[in-house]
């Protein structure tokens, strides 16, 4: 009888645990996956890189428009593989 109580408690805890390892239900709170994840990541990378490089060029004395144009051309020259995830390429 003394062994039955801990075993029953352990079984109850395991049965009511929140482990969903074998559950087929999807997590409703999980973010939705985009069909264009690679393109979104590339666009975000380009935007950040261009913004950072433009800020560096403006700090060196370039006008904001000229700095942005130069940063975009430098990005395209440096990262030629970007855009390979887009459909049709």
Per-residue pLDDT of the chain (89 residues; tens, 9 = 90+): 667 777 776 766 666 655 555 566 666 666 666 668 888 888 999 999 999 999 999 999 999 999 999 999 999 999 887 666 566 54
Enclosing domain of residue 74: 35-89
Average pLDDT over all residues of the chain: 79
- Please state the pTM of the whole predicted model: 0.55
The DSSP-derived string for 33-80 is PPTTHHHHHHHHHHHHHHHHHHHHHHHTT--HHHHHHHHHHHHHHH-T
Count of domains in the chain?
Answer: 1
Does residue 5 lie within any of the structural domains? no
Does residue 84 lie within any of the structural domains? yes
- pLDDT at position 15 is 64
Does residue 39 lie within any of the structural domains? yes
Residues 6+ apart with CB under 8 A from 82: 42, 45, 46, 75, 76
Does residue 11 lie within any of the structural domains? no
Does residue 17 lie within any of the structural domains? no
């Amino acid at each position: 009888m003394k062994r039955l109580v801990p075993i029953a408690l352990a079984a109850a805890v395991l049965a009511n645990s929140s482990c969903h390892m074998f559950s087929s239900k999807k997590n409703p709170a999980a973010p939705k996956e985009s069909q264009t994840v690679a393109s979104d990541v590339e666009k975000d990378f380009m935007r950040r890189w261009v913004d950072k490089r433009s800020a560096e060029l403006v700090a060196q004395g370039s006008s904001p428009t000229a700095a942005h144009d130069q940063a975009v051309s430098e990005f395209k020259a440096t990262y030629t593989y970007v855009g390979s995830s887009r459909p049709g390429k």
